[in-house]
Chain A
Amino acid sequence: MAQIFHPGMKVVSRASIILFVIVVTVLVVVGGAMYRSGYTTNVGNPREQKVPFSHEHHVNGLGISCAYCHTSVEKSAFAGIPPTHTCMTCHSQIWNTAPVLEPVRESYRTGRPLEWIRVHDLPDFAYFNHSIHVNKGVGCETCHGRVDRMPLTWSVNTLHMSWCLDCHRNPEKYVRPKSEIYSMTWKAGTDTAAGRRLVEEYDIHKQQLSDCSICHR
């Protein structure tokens, strides 16, 4: 009776065990890396908008403060996307015939708001409030990065929960003086004593910040 398995099967069977382990490891590692990469999170991916609005030009070039357009950032959960009126304060006078701004003028004529593609979108089960962050010393730049260098807007952070917790667990590493909230260039010093003082001053209850119900209500 002929053998069903050739002696070479020994190599095949052993190799298959090793290969199985390798394939599973690679799948897990690559899957995890993909999940964390810009491919999934869109970090560093400039979003095409109907109107190619440049934060770089408006913030860096013209020196307009964040809150000039995002008016409700200090008072409400939502920082606010400016109404077309805000654009038209300047653009009824300058670049008022530029073809690239036609959608803005059209919105102004028809009263239909401009449609922007959201760059930062938190899931609905996370309760997030801009005003509390801004009023407790979290600068715009801490989360949104150097928007003064973004010709088109992209996100610089993943918005993963682990990223939120980085600061919620150690706010002293991130909080800044209130005068620097809108600054694009403020840097935390190497010593955290100043940060700890600010945490005290802002009355931030650090031990509460990682409670589930702080963000999931």
Chain B
Amino acid sequence: MAYKYHVTEGENVAPLIAPGHDYATITDKISGDVLDRKTPRGMMITLAVSFLFVLVLIGAVSYLFYKGVGIWGINIPVGWGFAIVNLVWWIGIGHAGTLISAILLLLHQHWRNAINRFAEAMTLFAVACAGLFPILHLGRPWLAYWLTPYPNTMEVWPNFRSPLVWDVFAISTYLLVSFMFWFVGLIPDLASMRDRARKRWQKICYGVLAMGWRGSARHWHRYETSYLLLAGLATPLVVSVHSVVSFDFAVGIIPGWHATIFPPYFVAGAIYSGFAMVITLMIPVRKLYHLEDFVTDRHLDFMAKVMLGTGLIVLYGYLSELFFAYYSGSEYEGFMMHNRITGPYGWSYALLILCNGLIPQALWSKRVRLNTLALFLISIVVNVGMWLERFVIVVTSLHRDFLPSSWDMYTPTIWDWATYVGSLGVFVWLMFIFVRVMPMISIFEIKHLLPWKGRIYDTSADAN
């Protein structure tokens, strides 16, 4: 198949890569940030602070293993507290990576080349944080392996009719495919790092990870094929994983959970929060490492637009929930909505609508989208909003169930908070270690964005 060239750059549109760059300067800049540049001071401070929170998590988890889940604020009826809120929140954040890597790749959205590596790493770490919570949430976490079907002497199998078991498969598949996607995409860059490293131990480390990549035509051919195949594999996962997570709720009969809107509404929310987290992390990292040439304002603009779009779908979900609470005529649905808005946790619903529904509407304005500080703040607001959404779904639905005699309030304890902020610490810590030791932007992929007589080369055309 002959190479295909697309004319995608208009005269008055900012380029996806700042002018003045060529193959050599790109490699120098991105690999040099890891190999040659002294670690920026801001980086060291972030690492130190986040490691402090890693220690907080270790402490909180150790005490949890010693005492049991009673140290949390959960009770009956609110048996799902922060652990499940955090699980869903983290999994949602993990969705941006695959969306950016796989779906945008298949849709020929070349601007993704600047952020896909970073977003994929973020996905991995977010999914790792997410995976922690359901295990911590178990009464006997050391028996977590019972969730997997394996031939055992008890002759019992997990309950395959339970969405909690589907969850195990969905999340572990997602983690595995995301990891493969991320790692396969890294191989050519790891080879560049190997070749440019000056210290022997660096050469050996990057060399082993590069798995003998020599950049031959055959290597590239196989690489492109496997990368596209993995993209195809990962694409359905973007939709399926959070759908399955939403089944944890939707399959239950609790008002506020038992809704058919849940899967699409969860998936949109996941992409919403994922892009918000990419923006939250990308803006400071871009500043610390002076990456404005590669992650341009235009990239941030694109991401803000995706955030706005998915945010509107999420808002539609909220409105649909309101509408069906009224239209269904169900006493319990109606009460649930009434309680959600005016009940003891009404503040969380109000904040949720403010954070997820109203404030992000500012993104309609191009001035706001191009204002880095405003975008950064809005992305944080969205992260908070998406966390509140899960809090509202989990807590307000449970604390007033069918039997008024079992109604109760859920108050998170210091250990709930410690585990949550601890997981944030782990996430930021892993992210910054990644940035420190790996090329955070795909060196070879971003080269495709170099303007070539006003056109860019379309890699995905190879396999067509």
Binding site for B on A (CB under 8 A): 4-5, 9-10, 13, 32, 35-36, 158, 160-162, 165
Chain B hits for A35, CB < 8 A: 153
User: Contact between A5 and B207 (Cβ–Cβ < 8 Å)?
Assistant: yes
Given contact pairs A4-B204, A36-B153, a sample of 20 additional A-B residue pairs in the complex whose CB atoms are under 8 Å apart? A4-B200, A4-B203, A5-B207, A9-B212, A10-B212, A13-B211, A13-B212, A32-B151, A35-B153, A158-B153, A160-B153, A161-B153, A161-B154, A161-B155, A161-B156, A162-B152, A162-B153, A162-B154, A162-B155, A165-B155
Per the bound structure, the CA–CA distance linking A9 and B207 in Å amounts to 11
Binding site for A on B (CB under 8 A): 151-156, 200, 203-204, 207, 211-212
Chain A hits for B152, CB < 8 A: 162
Instruction: Tell me how far the C-beta of A7 lies from the nearest C-beta in chain B, rounded to whole angstroms.
Output: 10
Per the bound structure, the CA–CA distance linking A204 and B154 in Å amounts to 22
Per the bound structure, the CA–CA distance linking A161 and B204 in Å amounts to 50
Known contacts A9-B212, A13-B212, A4 near B154 by CB under 8 Å: no
Instruction: Tell me how far the C-beta of B320 lies from the nearest C-beta in chain A, rounded to whole angstroms.
Output: 39
Chain A hits for B155, CB < 8 A: 161-162, 165
Per the bound structure, the CA–CA distance linking A161 and B156 in Å amounts to 9
Q: What are 14 A-B contacts defined by CB distance under 8 Å?
A: A4-B200, A4-B203, A4-B204, A4-B207, A9-B212, A13-B212, A36-B153, A160-B153, A161-B153, A161-B154, A162-B152, A162-B154, A162-B155, A165-B155
Chain B hits for A13, CB < 8 A: 211-212
Tell me the nearest residue of chain B to A35, going by C-beta.
B153
Instruction: Tell me how far the C-beta of A25 lies from the nearest C-beta in chain B, rounded to whole angstroms.
Output: 14
Chain A hits for B212, CB < 8 A: 5, 9-10, 13
Per the bound structure, the CA–CA distance linking A165 and B200 in Å amounts to 59
Among B153, B154, B203, B207: residue with most chain A CB under 10 A? B153
Chain A hits for B203, CB < 8 A: 4
Instruction: Tell me how far the C-beta of B183 lies from the nearest C-beta in chain A, rounded to whole angstroms.
Output: 14
Instruction: Tell me how far the C-beta of B154 lies from the nearest C-beta in chain A, rounded to whole angstroms.
Output: 4
Chain B hits for A9, CB < 8 A: 212
Per the bound structure, the CA–CA distance linking A32 and B152 in Å amounts to 8
Tell me the nearest residue of chain A to B210, going by C-beta.
A5
Instruction: Tell me how far the C-beta of B198 lies from the nearest C-beta in chain A, rounded to whole angstroms.
Output: 10
Instruction: Tell me how far the C-beta of A109 lies from the nearest C-beta in chain B, rounded to whole angstroms.
Output: 44
Among A5, A9, A160, A165: residue with most chain B CB under 10 A? A5
Tell me the nearest residue of chain A to B203, going by C-beta.
A4
Per the bound structure, the CA–CA distance linking A10 and B208 in Å amounts to 11
Instruction: Tell me how far the C-beta of B361 lies from the nearest C-beta in chain A, rounded to whole angstroms.
Output: 52
The 3 closest A-B CB pairs, nearest first, are A162-B155, A160-B153, A161-B154
User: Contact between A160 and B154 (Cβ–Cβ < 8 Å)?
Assistant: yes
Instruction: Tell me how far the C-beta of A212 lies from the nearest C-beta in chain B, rounded to whole angstroms.
Output: 9
Per the bound structure, the CA–CA distance linking A182 and B200 in Å amounts to 76
Instruction: Tell me how far the C-beta of A96 lies from the nearest C-beta in chain B, rounded to whole angstroms.
Output: 46
Chain B hits for A160, CB < 8 A: 153-154
Per the bound structure, the CA–CA distance linking A49 and B132 in Å amounts to 48
Instruction: Tell me how far the C-beta of A123 lies from the nearest C-beta in chain B, rounded to whole angstroms.
Output: 11
Chain B hits for A162, CB < 8 A: 152-155
Per the bound structure, the CA–CA distance linking A32 and B153 in Å amounts to 9
Tell me the nearest residue of chain B to A158, going by C-beta.
B153
Instruction: Tell me how far the C-beta of B180 lies from the nearest C-beta in chain A, rounded to whole angstroms.
Output: 14
Instruction: Tell me how far the C-beta of B202 lies from the nearest C-beta in chain A, rounded to whole angstroms.
Output: 10
Per the bound structure, the CA–CA distance linking A31 and B154 in Å amounts to 16
Per the bound structure, the CA–CA distance linking A165 and B152 in Å amounts to 13
Per the bound structure, the CA–CA distance linking A9 and B194 in Å amounts to 15
Tell me the nearest residue of chain B to A169, going by C-beta.
B155
Chain B hits for A36, CB < 8 A: 153
Instruction: Tell me how far the C-beta of B250 lies from the nearest C-beta in chain A, rounded to whole angstroms.
Output: 26
Per the bound structure, the CA–CA distance linking A71 and B37 in Å amounts to 83
Per the bound structure, the CA–CA distance linking A5 and B207 in Å amounts to 8
Tell me the nearest residue of chain B to A40, going by C-beta.
B153
Per the bound structure, the CA–CA distance linking A36 and B155 in Å amounts to 13
Per the bound structure, the CA–CA distance linking A162 and B156 in Å amounts to 8
Instruction: Tell me how far the C-beta of B406 lies from the nearest C-beta in chain A, rounded to whole angstroms.
Output: 22
Chain A hits for B154, CB < 8 A: 160-162
Tell me the nearest residue of chain B to A166, going by C-beta.
B155
Per the bound structure, the CA–CA distance linking A5 and B206 in Å amounts to 12
Per the bound structure, the CA–CA distance linking A10 and B212 in Å amounts to 8
Tell me the nearest residue of chain A to B155, going by C-beta.
A162
Instruction: Tell me how far the C-beta of A17 lies from the nearest C-beta in chain B, rounded to whole angstroms.
Output: 10
Per the bound structure, the CA–CA distance linking A112 and B212 in Å amounts to 74
Chain B hits for A5, CB < 8 A: 207, 212
Per the bound structure, the CA–CA distance linking A32 and B151 in Å amounts to 9
Chain B hits for A32, CB < 8 A: 151
Per the bound structure, the CA–CA distance linking A32 and B156 in Å amounts to 16
Instruction: Tell me how far the C-beta of B146 lies from the nearest C-beta in chain A, rounded to whole angstroms.
Output: 12
Chain A hits for B156, CB < 8 A: 161
Per the bound structure, the CA–CA distance linking A4 and B202 in Å amounts to 11
Chain B hits for A165, CB < 8 A: 155
Per the bound structure, the CA–CA distance linking A162 and B151 in Å amounts to 10
Per the bound structure, the CA–CA distance linking A5 and B203 in Å amounts to 10
Tell me the nearest residue of chain B to A36, going by C-beta.
B153
Tell me the nearest residue of chain A to B206, going by C-beta.
A4
Tell me the nearest residue of chain B to A28, going by C-beta.
B150
Per the bound structure, the CA–CA distance linking A158 and B156 in Å amounts to 16
Among B155, B156, B200, B203: residue with most chain A CB under 10 A? B155
Chain B hits for A4, CB < 8 A: 200, 203-204, 207
Per the bound structure, the CA–CA distance linking A4 and B204 in Å amounts to 7
Instruction: Tell me how far the C-beta of B385 lies from the nearest C-beta in chain A, rounded to whole angstroms.
Output: 41
Per the bound structure, the CA–CA distance linking A161 and B153 in Å amounts to 6
Per the bound structure, the CA–CA distance linking A161 and B157 in Å amounts to 12
Per the bound structure, the CA–CA distance linking A141 and B345 in Å amounts to 63
Per the bound structure, the CA–CA distance linking A13 and B213 in Å amounts to 12
Tell me the nearest residue of chain B to A160, going by C-beta.
B153
Chain A hits for B211, CB < 8 A: 13
Per the bound structure, the CA–CA distance linking A5 and B211 in Å amounts to 11
Instruction: Tell me how far the C-beta of A165 lies from the nearest C-beta in chain B, rounded to whole angstroms.
Output: 5
Chain B hits for A161, CB < 8 A: 153-156
